[in-house]
Structure 1
Amino acid sequence: MQLAGVRLLYRALRWAVATAASPFGDVRAVREKTAPWDKRTPYSEAEVTALLAGADSRMRGLLLLCAHGGLRISEALTLQWTDVQLAGQELRVVQGKGGKQRRVVFGQTLGRALGELPGERRGHVVGGSYPAAVERLRRLCGRTEVPYRGYHALRHYAGTRLLAEGATLDDVARHLGHATIETTRIYAKWSDAGLRRRVSGW
């Protein structure tokens, strides 16, 4: 990323005739040694359970929107009540990544948590700013002694749990709103429970 930026800078300088130098033209980028799945470590089942147990109703709703609904934190914070159907157990993400919309089905646990949120069901379901949400999760992780991995690790939890329970890559991609199956394949690294069951009797 940095190498590409520096090359772009020198290309612009040469275009502006500010220099003729091209000092990084033959430099090769260092190959990334960390596998994609190692950058996406999800929270474990026990950690999610501990976070939910220590959260108030609003934070519980936010956690479950990410951990069960598979929403990105930006999607969860901007979710409106008009896009939630509690009886039908589904919601609509209006402004997903790249401006895409998608329908998300959810289970009883998330439905119950949303139904228990105080206040009138209008405007934002949870709302609030991203920095405030991050600070709340940091404090919750501290109280529950769960390592802080950010909200995206809750989304990874949703993907890996679905795969571990036998969902297809297509189902997981649709639930998480992935543009390509290749992105979803990364979650398979963390969902080897099914594989363990299959080979345990060999």
Structure 2
Amino acid sequence: MPVGRRERNKQEKLDRIVAAASELFAEHGVDEVTTQQIADQADIGTGTLFLYAKTKGELLLLVQNAKYVEALEQGRVDAETVPGVLDAVLAIVRPIVECNRIQIDNGRTYLREMVFGDPEEPRHSAALAIVAQTEEAVAAVLRRDERVAEGDAATLAHIVSAVMFLSMAASVNIALSVEEIVQDIRRQVDVLLPR
């Protein structure tokens, strides 16, 4: 069915909000941008902005969730052609780390919002769904190794997710490059895999 004018207007406003927040967050970092600046850039009132996202954290989730979905999809595609289990897991992880490190403060804030936000709020729920999808992709790769039982693959994938999260979020890793973060994750995941 055709979308009505009201729904088109809502989607257009949402698109403008996402574009404005994305641009401002990328340029200045989430902590340095106000909701008023986002509303001004999107050419809407702040009251209208808060109909779409109640907090700056929700705005960041709105912007970043789409980017993380793309990163995960790229990782899945990359992992399909990688024969070794550890290397295939890292093929999934690498684009996510790259996405997280484009603007380090935004990446760390995104992870914090994901963990400490209200899981019932739709943007937070979507972020947690991305984590679950990432763990499913990693578990699928781990199942390639016949020594990894079905239930163990899911548990190991959950651990890999935690390792990745901590490596990206830890304050001591702020200055590390994407490659250094990926190598840190590689060392930790390598210890988990059967020998």
TM-score, normalising length from structure 2?
Answer: 0.23
Richer in helix (by share): 2
Bigger RCO of structures 1 and 2 (CA < 8 A, at least 6 apart): 1
Structure with more strand by fraction: 1
